[in-house]
Structure 1
Amino acid sequence: MDEPFGPEYVRPRQEDCPRCACCTADLCERGRNSVMRCCGFTPHEHRETVFGCPCSAETTKRTAAWRAAQVRATRLACEKPVDTAAEELLRALADGRDVDDDGALFPGLKVRGLAQLIDLRPAVTELGRTYLAARDDVRAPAAVHVVDVDPRSRTARVEVGAWREDEPVTVLLDQVTSDTGLDAETLPDRWLAAEANCHAEDADRLVLTGFSETDELPDGWMGDES
């Protein structure tokens, strides 16, 4: 039998992601390591299906979108905080107190991702708690040692001596290169400076912002000098 158009190509079936019901394993790996999330790697006609995928969501710890959101909320708190009345409302929500709002303040918190509606009631988000922590934390310049970089996941592992000397934390590689203007391949074993909340309880609460080059190891980088 003649086949004038040649054999029909059928794309091999990809393995389903074991953690969600909407994506393939390959898609979730890419989405988890990108601020574009899974929907950013999906054709337009299928984006609605994967839009809320938890594997790449900014509400899921340690995704690229989550790391970027932590930095965004921290910078908002430090550089462009909401006004006093809105912050008081956010603190009331975080404390679980009943609040009266005329509708002017909550929408602004919601659009910034700091608050949400749960069962039609205003509530703080985890990003809102990050924002409040940044408002209350002591943030100061800290020396940062780049241990290594992972081009595949677009992350870098760094040590912050003023926090914990031998416990590397993961940061977004694109954040470091964007802040410093350095190429990724030049980062391993390099010393940088960044703003840090060095009283953070664990690595998930340690947020580094404003990476910059430093010419020499700062005095007291280990955090044990007076």
Structure 2
Amino acid sequence: MRIGIIGLGTIATAVVKGIAEDGHDIAVSRRSEKNAGHLAGRFGNVTVADNQEIVDRSEIVFLGLTEDVAPNVLAALRFREGQQVISLMAGLDLARVADMTAPATMAARMIPFPSIATGRSQILAHGDSSLIHALFGARNSIFEIATEEELGTYLCAQAVLSPAIRMVKDAADWLAHKGADPEMAETFLRELVGSSLLAAPCDPLLDALDTPGGYNQRLRQHMTGSGMSDRLRDGFDQLLA
């Protein structure tokens, strides 16, 4: 397929890496010279082009622009019938992006995560996700979202990722402060949390870690007693407001 990427931040760069070895002809924009140069240097089928050239040559156009610059950038471009557009932009709904890219077909919104670069990402998909499945489904987990409102709640809930990583990092730093090797401490905790969450749903996992008087139960009770769960729900509500 002839694929174009307009906007080349962290997520769009990861998207390119995730499909670059699948034989597609990929053109990326100059938004980030560093990212564009890295991709073109690493993959022989990736070229750097101006935005209109990307639109002219591509069957599928991914939009990785930020919400504040997207209207002006897209207003200057001439899309055509028969093209399909997939938006990576979390802050702009399907209808608005469709207006800005007409007469192309606004296929879907796609919210991946950095791990899409290596093929182990969760992907939120809203709209006609057939292209997303075709391009990314073999190596990633795609979650179909029915409405814009539901997508909004998922975008809020996924923000738990950064605090969760921060907690693992803080625990590793505590271990290192107590004399553990810093690299081994972080690797141990990352693997422990990651493998545990993949092994079982949350409720049975919590039950298994609820030994009376055990380390896990005592720390969880300390943190929930300090208001952790309430603060988390308040944070989600603030993001959704």
Please confirm whether the aligned pair reaches a TM-score higher than 0.5, indicating the same fold: no
Larger strand share, 1 or 2? 1
| TM value normalised by structure 1 | 0.24
Q: Which has the higher helix share?
A: 2
